Structure 1
């Protein structure tokens, strides 16, 4: 409907008015113009005029003032049409939008927030919807912010902070908390910070990579016989284990397909989490293998891993493996991109190009068990 178009325009002006309220600026008169699209029938004309007049300001009734202009229509003859609509006051605006109660609530909530910290005025003016959007959460947000602003939390875990909110509250509202803290503490909380832990130097839950000893004697020597364990990147950097080789696999299932091998540890790289395994002395001083899916992502991760560790050898990621499993080949959902992948060897590049030519992929789990065992025994 035509009137809906004007109401939609007023909604935008309402948001601007909220910004002015936050910044303690007076109401700004709003003027809307009648537009070029006119009615084509008498019935349509009368209906639209009625709708305009239904929202017209009169006596104690709030609404818009209508400035009429003469309109000479070939079809309808001499008529009157709204040239412009003027909204003079805040009361008129909220009446037209039916937001009287909402604005009262907005004012009350805004007052509470600014009484807590007036520095939030500019932050709220940039996104006034947050005043009511976060209404159920403001008390909790203020609790957390007050604690972070007044205590040194370096080295502490986020969920261990003694604040009166439930344990998931901080993580759930972390983007809002971080945005406010960047505004309040621009010198302390830098713009690149993507988490509260990073911003305040807090302890972070370690990312654990599943690992399995392929040599039981090493399990006895280093981990009291535990053959399956979890390793964090920081923990791996401190290891002084003497090993012959480490094999990194893309998927956890394949951690258990590897045969027992003297002097070797196998680690699941969790796909793209492989990037966290950088600057680890253990991986630099041993033979290093990588076994990933025969698809675009698998070769991309192999390429990136070899950039970190140039001596890494791939397992079952050459053209021979692709040719032996053409029946198991599927189509990957996304089309291969034209990637350079400069760190692939010639056999690896040949495999990648063969798959890319048909947009194909061969999952690790689809490799024939006998081929897998024979090849691994030969290489390892």
Structure 2
């Protein structure tokens, strides 16, 4: 005999189907609940099961599932009323029983508003029903944002500068739903389809990462027109520079960056960790010879791997198995194990060997620990003066 909790579970499982039927304008009720209606063999257990089923039904509580009963006589149980059919007869009975009255009201209200404004995103509604219900309170604001960006594509303003009656965190808080709508409603020519970053994708201004730059050759500093040998430059400003082919040394640790020696035709840039993919936004880097220097550990070598997705010719500095073996006894540190990282691609065999050791032995050698004499020696060999 089915338990009322099992009926509730089945009803919850039917809720997504009910939403789709409602969207199509079709009838869903009465809704039959397939159920095991066989009485337990023990007469006392059978009586309890029937009483429990009845106690949670619409007949007793005023809402919920209804039961069609039929009289049955058996040798074991005698004459009894047993459930013939269990079903929800109305929408209210169904929603109240699974405690989704408010959620469904939010959902239907949001759907009606969206269909009025943007009938072309009907398929999105069907695929994002839970998100839509959760965002129902923000529907009016979402429409304000979308309408503004349709009328003013790629405005070049910060989100908080948009002349809209929304709070300053509204767009940030609703990026997921806004992206779904904007991708469908904006002209394709106004969307940077290759860009995952929300502001860059839709032409909003944002707090750009600032890259630390050190000019290791005065002639490059002069070409940049910078009065400083080191400075911090916004990413998009750096991307607009007109730079001839130079050597670029990307260094994660700031102390290592600031203590690099002068090197011919070379500038150094501070690394930005897992955001290293943002370097792809600097067009002139693709014409440069790039070196990357980070920690010898799982994270550092994984960053190098991701860097090479956008810059396949990037060379590593002091991040191979030879460097690891030379310094592991004096400088190697044990680190806490983390979940297995994705197997790195784009590593050389020497880099991959270092990764495997770091992964299996929970080992790290931080780049700032490597003696400066070793660093200067290899830099002078890699960047010889004329």
TM range (shorter): 0.7 to 0.9
- 2:46 and 2:315 mapped to 1: Cα distance? 79
**Structural mapping, 1:132-171, within 5 Å:** 132-149=133-150, 151-159=151-159, 160-171=161-172
- 1:145 and 1:253 mapped to 2: Cα distance? 45
1:64 aligns with 2:65: yes
Q: Counterpart in 2 of 1:248?
A: 250
Shift of the 71–98 alpha-carbon distance from structure 1 to 2, 3 Å rule, reads farther
The runs of 5 or more residues in structure 2 that have no matched partner are none
Alignment root-mean-square deviation, CA: 4.2
Alpha-carbon contact 2:4-2:56 (below 8 Å) kept? no
Q: Counterpart in 2 of 1:366?
A: 369
State the Cα distance separating 1:139 from its structure 2 match: 1.9
1:51 aligns with 2:52: yes
- 1:212 and 1:191 mapped to 2: Cα distance? 33
Q: Classify the secondary structure of the residue corresponding to 2:125.
A: helix
More displaced 10-residue stretch of structure 1: 1-10 or 98-107? 98-107
Q: Classify the secondary structure of the residue corresponding to 1:33.
A: coil
Query: Cα deviation per residue 1:317-364 (whole Å; 9 max; x = unaligned)?
Result: 34442233112223564558766746x3x7656655665674643221
More displaced 10-residue stretch of structure 1: 51-60 or 16-25? 51-60
Q: 1:225 aligns with which of 224, 228, 235?
A: 228
Q: Classify the secondary structure of the residue corresponding to 1:325.
A: helix
- 2:192 and 2:312 mapped to 1: Cα distance? 34
State the Cα distance separating 1:31 from its structure 2 match: 0.8
Q: Classify the secondary structure of the residue corresponding to 2:33.
A: strand
Query: Cα deviation per residue 1:77-128 (whole Å; 9 max; x = unaligned)?
Result: 6654324202222233244345556655655555445444455555434443
Query: Cα deviation per residue 1:256-308 (whole Å; 9 max; x = unaligned)?
Result: 232344553211232344344357446735x6433222234544555665787
Shift of the 98–51 alpha-carbon distance from structure 1 to 2, 3 Å rule, reads farther
Alpha-carbon contact 2:73-2:79 (below 8 Å) kept? yes
Q: Counterpart in 2 of 1:35?
A: 36
Alpha-carbon contact 1:67-1:84 (below 8 Å) kept? yes
Q: Classify the secondary structure of the residue corresponding to 1:129.
A: helix
Q: Classify the secondary structure of the residue corresponding to 1:223.
A: coil
More displaced 10-residue stretch of structure 1: 131-140 or 362-371? 362-371
State the Cα distance separating 1:186 from its structure 2 match: 8.0
Shift of the 61–141 alpha-carbon distance from structure 1 to 2, 3 Å rule, reads same
More displaced 10-residue stretch of structure 1: 3-12 or 352-361? 352-361
Q: Counterpart in 1 of 2:212?
A: 210
**Structural mapping, 1:1-380, within 5 Å:** 2-35=3-36, 38-39=39-40, 41-58=42-59, 61-68=62-69, 70=72, 72=74, 79-97=80-98, 108=109, 110-119=111-120, 122-149=123-150, 151-159=151-159, 160-184=161-185, 194=196, 197=199, 200-201=202-203, 206-215=208-217, 219=221, 222-230=225-233, 232=235, 235-236=238-239, 238-240=241-243, 245-261=247-263, 263-278=265-280, 280-281=283-284, 284=287, 288-299=290-301, 301-302=303-304, 313-327=315-329, 328-329=331-332, 330=334, 333=338, 341=346, 344=348, 351=354, 355=358, 358=361, 360-373=363-376, 375-376=378-379, 380=383
Alpha-carbon contact 2:54-2:60 (below 8 Å) kept? no
Q: What is the aligned length?
A: 374
- 1:28 and 1:14 mapped to 2: Cα distance? 12
The runs of 5 or more residues in structure 1 that have no matched partner are none
TM-score for the superposition, normalised by structure 2:
0.75
- 1:131 and 1:300 mapped to 2: Cα distance? 37
- 1:186 and 1:29 mapped to 2: Cα distance? 44
- 1:117 and 1:283 mapped to 2: Cα distance? 41
Q: Classify the secondary structure of the residue corresponding to 2:167.
A: coil
